[in-house]
Structure 1
Amino acid sequence: MKKIALTIALLCSASLFSGQAAANAFVDGEDAVSYRQAAFQTIRFNLVDINDMFRGNVPYDLERVQRRAEALAALTQLPWEAFNIPGADHASGKVKTALWQNLDDFNSRGDKFAADAAALHEAAQAGDRRQIQGAFREFANNCKACHDNYRAD
């Protein structure tokens, strides 16, 4: 019984500290840019690997697609916070000014992007290649649409 109480106490204190850390995750806008760029690069790596399999550039491997889709479902949750911190709109980065003028639209696109990644992950777990390919197409198209509207070259 004491172990359970101690475990609960430790978990509660850990969640308090992690909440404080999350509130102060970025030092400044430049730190946020570095974070979101790293997240997007990792997303890109996983997206390109799946795309290469569907294009026949590398052999199709369902287990590899499943791993990539699982990673995408987690990774697509990450970058959005870094766009919503004070100073992020004045930091460097490859974004058009339209992003800051339409932040609500951008954030809703981020939500859809994450939902598309979750759907891709679900399709990958089911294992049907056509279903995976359709979910991947939706995911990739959403990615491109956001780039077209909000990413500077």
Structure 2
Amino acid sequence: MKKPLTALLCLAVLSVPAIAGNAFVDAEDSIEYRQAAFQLIRHNVGDIAAMVKGEINYDAARVNKRATALATLTTLPWEAFSVPGADKGGNAKAAIWQNLADFTSRSEKLIADAATLKVAADSNDQAEVRKAFGNFARNCKACHDQYKE
């Protein structure tokens, strides 16, 4: 009888974040999560940028790997901005929460740009990758200019 009760208690405890609507323990947890997601995005963007700029040899397989990662990673940080208190830390400007519709629109565009970059990487056409990456990077920078300290 003890095992079913323990299992039920564990299930109840593990379900709390899902019931609350997100996977975060508190605002600090959400801030750490979004910063980690953005660091992974930064790493993958930096690698592609170095190849597109000719700083390192272009490697289509590596670009494809990075673009695949970006197609997933760009979907991750956004829910972490909706946690109560998430506006009280990190390097996000208050303008995010003052202009949430614009911020959300930019995040959706970044996700779409990452998907376009992935399609370009799948084509193995370096010119298409360069064009798609340019659009992705411009959107990234514009959001940083507006919403990042």
User: TM-score, structure 2 length as denominator?
Assistant: 0.85
Q: 1:58: which partner in 2?
A: 56
Q: Structure 1: how far apart are the matches of 2:100 and 2:112?
A: 18
Shift of 1:21: 7.1
CA distance in structure 2 between the aligned counterparts of 1:62 and 1:22, rounded to whole angstroms: 42
Partner of 1:137: 134
1:88 corresponds to 2:86: yes
In structure 2, the gaps of 5 or more residues are 1-14
- Cα-Cα RMSD: 1.5
Number of residue pairs the alignment of both structures matches? 134
C-alpha change, 1:125 and 1:21, in structure 2 (3 Å) is: farther
Whole-angstrom CA distance in 2 between matches of 1:84 and 1:127: 37
The answer as to 2:92 corresponding to 1:102 is: no
- Identify the match of residue 146 of structure 2 among 142, 146, 149: 149
Contact 2:114 2:136 in 1 (8 A): yes
How far did residue 97 of structure 1 move? 1.4
Query: 2:124 and 2:20 mapped to 1: Cα distance?
Result: 36
Stretches of 4+ aligned residues off by more than 4 angstroms: none
Q: Does 1:25 align with 2:23?
A: yes
Which has the larger displacement, 25-34 or 41-50? 25-34
How far apart, CA to CA, are the structure 2 residues paired with 1:21 and 1:41? 28
Distance 1:22 1:73, change over 3 A: farther
Residues 22 and 79, structure 2, Cα contact 8 Å, conserved in 1: no
1:86, distance to aligned residue in structure 2 (A): 1.6
